[in-house]
A and B are shown apart, each in its own frame.
Chain A
């Protein structure tokens, strides 16, 4: 009743194959985008920017990237933190070397550099699968972090090994550095995430995405019907790393402003993104956003309720937060193993029948 596809007729193939074929979905997405682009920038303040919206957007981008690799192509990766570090250091070197470069160019170029590194570390996936591949990508994680800590060229020989983002602009407006206005950094990340989420959505519906899913579901069968595992796997690694590299660049340059490799891009970050993808829903673009929201926004909400609302001690709240998040992850996986995205699919089914379930 509330959500229905009946009566939504199409008269051309183009209309039938658009990104969101249902009118209701389309309106909803346009509504959310209009709100995000036209309303939020006018009300955003530093707190909402730095604690809620930027982390959500940055980690959504990372989750999108990993979802392409793990969710769509079925290649388990634990190297996300390392690839994010590649994006961050690439953007740092670009920002320092070419101060007048537009930040969009910097972030996208950092993504491309990460894509190349990703292809390199994707090569083992041609021979090994599953857990063994996870171990190989784990090596990428440790190697890359070690590299950025060890070779002073990457951090321009600074005394402490920290990299700090200088002020850089987009069309004359600062988006990095402390003086960047909240609305600018927010819109900068939002544009990137929206554009590339749209690209990801369509990639996964197209020929490339179908070849990934064929490899994921049964690689031998896929090979027999003519899908090249080499092309499919390496393209998945490249595109996934491209997204993750961009998120790393945004994390460092726009959100944090400075970073050191062991702390900002450690193994825990790889797991964090993997959990986002699993909790949100493997093989779902919406799931990437839901997973990121769950693991990034929920702790902030809990903290605000426990410390701000109830006035509990900060350390007690920090411990309880871990307990609750852990408990909720287990609950979700038991109740709905396919993630939050599947939860939404079921909700749609229910809404379709409501109020006459039978």
Chain B
């Protein structure tokens, strides 16, 4: 047993070495992943997230004059690592967590609520967290999984001139909490629109999908919807191309719509569609600033090759929303060094309109956001983007449209009520304004 004590002693020594960032900084910890089956996607998001804060530090001297830091902790998309990363970073004054993993989100929801640290799960996580009365510390604006499912169905309905009756739609999904999220919404929508829904789960990490696509080839559904992530996306799109499934009838959620997913399939991926809640491409004024202050200054988080790609933009957008919320919190509480509780208030009162987006160098990039105490879910607007394989570019082919609020609001109320009952949570008092 001597070795055990020895190991413990060494562990103790190692833990003491951990560096503590200066307290005056605004701390935005990154639970990122650059390794494993989801690393290619996680790295782009993380680069965008870190680069935006670097830009603020370099160009504006931080947020309200206080520098932002982004200590990184590698989770590898694993839930137990996510818990370890959370525990090891929360003590340093963490303001907001963005784990980019639905599994880790589920793990952290009770913990962040207990520690009064906000968590922002932009377009992922637990959808019913949109009900701010129950989930006081969790935010998922501007759009969530169920919005995505609804907007996809809306688009398919438009393609079919408003009539989906008798059509067959297959959902290919990552067999995890993430992939299962839209099932209930799609079931409700299938009742409403009268289409036939079929479910095909793909187990982690999704490198083997021959049987699923054989089934699709046999049954010839009219449309395929995909909720995939990481390697699973590339494989699915390649398999779809192999069985010559018409690509314009294959629609992914926003996590299945990055360059990483379509480029491996080459020409075959041409016409593949995905839903998105923000603009695409690098034609925004902000990228000039990023090139000048971040990339050319040699301060980019990655090698700079990802700038302007879908997931990079999304990471940047996530950082932008966090920075805006921090600025809101600074104004509300009239202090530069905000705490996580103040950050939570900032997020709950976040308002971003088109004028502000233009000011930030991203005109038309995202919807107007108006978070309230009751609604942590934002407007739920989304558009459809389509892949042009020749130009290697995503293009928006629809306007940003609203999801089916009638169905989704009912589902959110139902699911959050079940959670509140299971965990004996009392509704947050939203009357104070």
Docked Cα-Cα span, A301 to B175, in Å, equals: 32
Task: Give Cα A305–Cα B14 distance, bound, in whole angstroms.
Answer: 6
Contact A308/B19 with A46-B87, A164-B106, A264-B79 known, Cβ cut-off 8 Å? yes
Residues on the A chain within 8 Å of B4, using CB: 32, 289-290, 293
Q: How far is the CB of A5 from chain B (nearest CB, A)?
A: 17
Residues facing B in A157-182 (CB within 8 A) are 158-162, 164, 166-167, 177-179
Report the separation of the CA atoms of residues A311 and B63 in the bound assembly, to the nearest whole angstrom.
24
- A262 CA / B205 CA spacing, docked (Å): 10
Q: Which of A47, A167, A258 is in CB contact (< 8 Å) with B106?
A: A258
Does any Cβ of A come within 8 Å of B415's Cβ? yes
Contact of B34 with A by CB under 8 A? yes
**Given known A32-B5, A55-B80, A259-B79, contact A304–B17 (CB-CB < 8 A):** yes
Query: Which residue in chain B gives the minimum CB-CB distance to A259?
Result: B79
Which residues of B lie under 8 Å from residue A29 when comparing CB positions? 1
Pair B73/A314 contact, Cβ less than 8 Å: yes
The distance in angstroms between the C-alpha atoms of A169 and B354, with both chains bound, is 50
Interface size classification for chain B: 35 or more
Kindly supply a per-residue 1/0 record for chain A positions 312-347, scoring 1 wherever the CB is within 8 Å of any chain B CB and 0 otherwise. 011101110000000000000000000010011001
Partner of B114, one of A166, A178, A289: A178
Q: Check if B204 sits within 8 Å of A313, measured CB to CB.
A: no
State which of A51, A260, A294, A318 has its C-beta within 8 Å of the C-beta of B74: A318
**Known pairs A179-B114, A258-B106, A297-B11. 11 more at Cβ < 8 A?**
A32-B4, A47-B91, A52-B11, A160-B180, A162-B177, A167-B424, A255-B83, A290-B3, A300-B11, A300-B84, A304-B14
Contact of A315 among B43, B84, B204 (CB under 8 A): B43
Instruction: Provide the bound-state CA to CA distance between A96 and B78, in Å.
Output: 26
**Interface assignment of B203: CB less than 8 Å from any CB of chain A:** yes
Does B181 sit at the interface, judged by CB under 8 A?
yes
Which residues does chain A contribute within 8 Å of B113, judged by CB atoms? 178
Do the beta carbons of A258 and B107 come within 8 Å of each other? yes
How many residue-residue contacts, CB under 8 A, span A and B? 155
| Dominant secondary structure at the A interface | helix
Is the beta-carbon distance between B74 and A263 smaller than 8 angstroms?
Answer: no
Task: Judge whether B3 and A343 touch: CB under 8 Å.
Answer: yes
Q: Find residues 171-217 in chain A having any chain B CB closer than 8 Å to their own CB.
A: 177-179
A318 to B103 Cα, complex, angstroms: 20
Which B residue's beta carbon lies closest to that of A35?
A: B5
A159–B414 Cα distance when bound, in Å, is 11
- Decide: A149 and B175 in contact? CB cutoff 8 A: yes
Binding site for B on A (CB under 8 A): 28-29, 32, 46-52, 55, 96, 149, 158-162, 164, 166-167, 177-179, 255-260, 262-264, 266, 286, 289-290, 293-294, 297-298, 300-301, 303-305, 307-309, 311, 313-315, 317-319, 340, 343-344, 347
Q: Are A344 and B72 in contact (CB under 8 A)?
A: no
Known: A161-B180, A260-B177, A314-B72. A50 touches B18 (CB 8 A): no
A319 to chain B: closest residue by CB: B35
**Which A residues are in CB contact (< 8 Å) with B80?**
55, 255-256, 264
**Residues of chain A lying within 8 A (CB to CB) of residue B78:** 263
Q: Which of A32, A162, A344 has most B Cβ within 10 Å?
A: A162
Would you call A50 and B17 a contact (CB within 8 A)?
A: no
Please indicate the chain B residues that have their CB under 8 angstroms from the CB of A263 in the complex.
78-79, 103, 176, 204
B5, B91, B110, B424: the one contacting A178 at CB < 8 Å is B110
3 A-B pairs with the lowest CB-CB distances in the bound complex, closest first: A315-B34, A308-B18, A178-B110
Residues of A within 8 A of B175 (CB): 149, 262
Is the pair A47, B107 in contact by a Cβ cutoff of 8 Å? no
* 0/1 interface trace, chain B 37-59, chain A, CB 8 Å (1 if under): 00100010000000000000000
